[in-house]
A and B are shown apart, each in its own frame.
Chain A
Amino acid sequence: DSGVTQTPKHLITATGQRVTLRCSPRSGDLSVYWYQQSLDQGLQFLIQYYNGEERAKGNILERFSAQQFPDLHSELNLSSLELGDSALYFCASTRQSGANVLTFGAGSRLTVL
């Protein structure tokens, strides 16, 4: 157990639907990162939060949004889902915002049918 908790582990839904993925960072970690891993694109950085504030944005679609709450857990919202959104979504956390070693959660596998 890495200390980073992601729920749900698996999610199957239909096109056009909306889902929320949740991440609880390791105790004491202030920064949360979201990554998407698809078969054709590999791992891609989506977005980073640090202590409740958005810190950096990567290849995140406009249909996707995220936030980090005062208790430091984070949620990634995916809406108007398309078949191509099927992927593993990973959350990772670090204590600081810089180039620290990342601790990954086990991932949430999203299947869009």
Chain B
Amino acid sequence: KNEVEQSPQNLTAQEGEFITINCSYSVGISALHWLQQHPGGGIFSLFMLSSGKKKHGRLIATINIQEKHSSLHITASHPRDSAVYICAVKWGAFGSARQLTFGSGTQLTVLP
């Protein structure tokens, strides 16, 4: 069983829609990353968070430590947001050598 679960696996939206991608994990973590992978393969780090909420432009990431759950929201979605969004968690104490475990990704397609 994958210790990091993402949903949905695939998501198609119309331009302008509000989008939510979810990530759940099984045990306590020190940090959670949201990554974006473009069709060409390149991976970009969007957020790293260990509590609360972060916002960058139209992207918002939240994490609920008690619920072991994080969400990535995209407001006013645009076709250029089409990509695979990957959640990754870092187990263990902050600063430890435990490395990232990745979710299977959510393929987002935004139609014009």
B-binding residues in A (CB < 8 A): 2, 33, 42-45, 48, 55-56, 58, 88, 90, 92, 97-104, 106-107, 109
Contact = CB atoms under 8 A, between A and B. Distances in A.
Nearest to B30: A99
Contacts of B97: 48, 55-56, 97
B43 A104 contact: yes
A45 B99 contact: yes
A109 B42 CA distance: 11
Contact of B42 (A33, A58, A104): A104
Given A43-B86, A99-B90, A102-B33, A90 B43 contact: yes
Interface residues of B, number: 27
B14 to A, nearest CB: 28
Interface string B20-47: 0000000000110101000011111100
Interface in B64-112: 86, 88, 90, 94-105
Contacts of B96: 98
A4 to B, nearest CB: 10
A101 B48 contact: yes
A42 B102 contact: yes
Given A43-B86, A107-B41, A107-B42, A100 B48 contact: yes
B45 A104 contact: yes
A88 B39 CA distance: 13
Counting chain A CB atoms within 10 Å of each CB, the highest count among B48, B50, B100 belongs to: B100
Given A104-B43, A107-B41, A109-B41, A99 B104 contact: no
Nearest to A50: B97
Contacts of B99: 33, 45, 48, 56, 58
